[in-house]
């Protein structure tokens, strides 16, 4: 995908960058090897957008591994699950741009036989990690289920072969489960909207506080420019992202990218930020999150036109 991509395992000993007074600063940018993230970072990875004074190295790993790595403050900029943010809030600040939000849709619970949503109590359910937002949403819906953590791309097989009774699907599994004969039990994004009237904020990007505000704002700006560029050059960005589409054809990948890279990605806005706070507040009240930190979102001093357009679009949709 990007220039100098590295897997989590191959990059295990890579030192973090630190502020320098002059020269080019190395910045590690960690995110998932998925078509939506590839689309989002297309412009950065192909030098359509540049970060002056910074040399960005992309690191690819699944979201649960990145959540764990954030505990160690391993990467300068990283994708994170919103549900995991309280664990490392003292080390990272969330960025306003770069979020994945389920607006009336979200992670799915699927099964091989006729389970109903009311039947999930006590069931063994394959989940993509205990720090993921999908898992938090599932436990808010049914706290009595029995989670079985496993790699996200193994969950459908585990359901099909009976290792677990149901599976919690993220990424492209939300669109492809029907091909394996599984059926939908519950859409957690639909449930969340019915409960709260809000979209379900799944994940975002965060930057190390130790980099300082100036570099943080520079990163926020370049990320906004990258997302904006991809949305404005959709065909080129999607063609690039297809190498990470994992068996999706072009049309299905286009649908998936549209679900999770959109106006919410340009800027969470006040409603999106409220949804993040609501998610963490409910998680804490249920005993699933130890505390709710003061949550701030780093943007850029003056909003870009694309971001403003995104905000206006969401406001219009809400009226």
Q: Which of 180, 191, 175 is nearest to 137 (CA)?
A: 191
Is 233 in the active site? Answer: no
List Cβ neighbours of 9 (8 Å cut-off, separation of 6 or more). Answer: none
Dihedral of CA atoms 49, 51, 54, 59 in degrees, nearest 10, equals: -50
Please answer whether residues 172 and 51 qualify as being in contact, where contact means their C-beta atoms are separated by less than 8 angstroms.
no
- Please give the Cα distance from 64 to 137 (Å, whole number): 15
By 3-state DSSP, what share of the chain in percent is helix, strand and coil, each rounded to 5? Answer: 45, 20, 35
- Please give the Cα distance from 290 to 131 (Å, whole number): 12
Residue 243, burial from CB neighbour count under 10 angstroms (0-12, 13-18, 19+): exposed
Number of residues that this document lists for the chain:
319
Q: How far, in whole angstroms, is CA 202 from its chain's centroid?
A: 6
- Please give the Cα distance from 298 to 168 (Å, whole number): 31
Q: What are phi and psi of 55, to 5 degrees?
A: -115, 110
Q: How far, in whole angstroms, is CA 53 from its chain's centroid?
A: 27
The per-residue DSSP string of 191-240 comes to HHHHHHSS-EEEEEEEEEGGG-HHHHHHHHHHHHHHHHHHHHTHHHHHHH
Catalytic residue among 171, 183, 233, 284: 171
- Please give the Cα distance from 134 to 169 (Å, whole number): 8
Active site members: 171
């Amino acid at each position: 995908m990007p220039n100098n991509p590295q897997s989590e395992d191959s990059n295990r000993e890579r030192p973090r960058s630190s502020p320098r007074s002059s020269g080019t600063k190395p910045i590690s940018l960690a995110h998932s090897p998925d078509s939506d993230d590839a689309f989002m970072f297309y412009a950065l990875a192909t030098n359509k957008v540049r970060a002056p004074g910074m040399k960005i190295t992309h690191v690819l790993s699944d979201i649960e591994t990145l959540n764990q790595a954030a505990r160690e403050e391993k990467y300068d900029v990283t994708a994170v699950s919103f549900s995991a943010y309280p664990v490392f809030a003292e080390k990272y600040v969330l960025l306003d741009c770069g979020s994945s939000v389920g607006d009336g849709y979200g992670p799915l619970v699927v099964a091989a036989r006729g389970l109903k949503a009311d039947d999930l109590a006590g069931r063994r359910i394959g989940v993509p990690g205990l720090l993921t937002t999908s898992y938090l949403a599932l436990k808010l819906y049914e706290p009595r289920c029995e989670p079985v953590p496993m790699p996200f791309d193994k969950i459908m097989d585990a359901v099909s072969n009976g290792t677990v009774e149901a599976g919690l699907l993220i990424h492209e599994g939300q669109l492809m489960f029907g091909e394996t004969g599984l059926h939908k039990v519950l859409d957690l994004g639909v449930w969340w909207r019915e409960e709260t009237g809000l979209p379900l904020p799944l994940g975002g990007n965060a930057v190390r506080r130790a980099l300082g505000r100036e570099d943080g704002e520079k990163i926020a700006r370049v990320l906004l420019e990258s997302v904006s560029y991809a949305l404005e050059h959709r065909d080129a960005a999607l063609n690039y992202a297809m190498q990470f589409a994992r068996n999706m054809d072009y049309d299905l990948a286009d649908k998936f990218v549209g679900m999770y890279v959109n106006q919410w990605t340009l800027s969470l806005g006040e409603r999106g930020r409220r949804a993040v706070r609501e998610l963490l507040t409910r998680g804490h009240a249920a005993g699933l999150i130890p505390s709710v930190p003061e949550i701030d979102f780093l943007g850029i001093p003056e909003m870009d036109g694309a971001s403003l357009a995104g905000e206006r679009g969401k406001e219009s949709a809400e009226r």
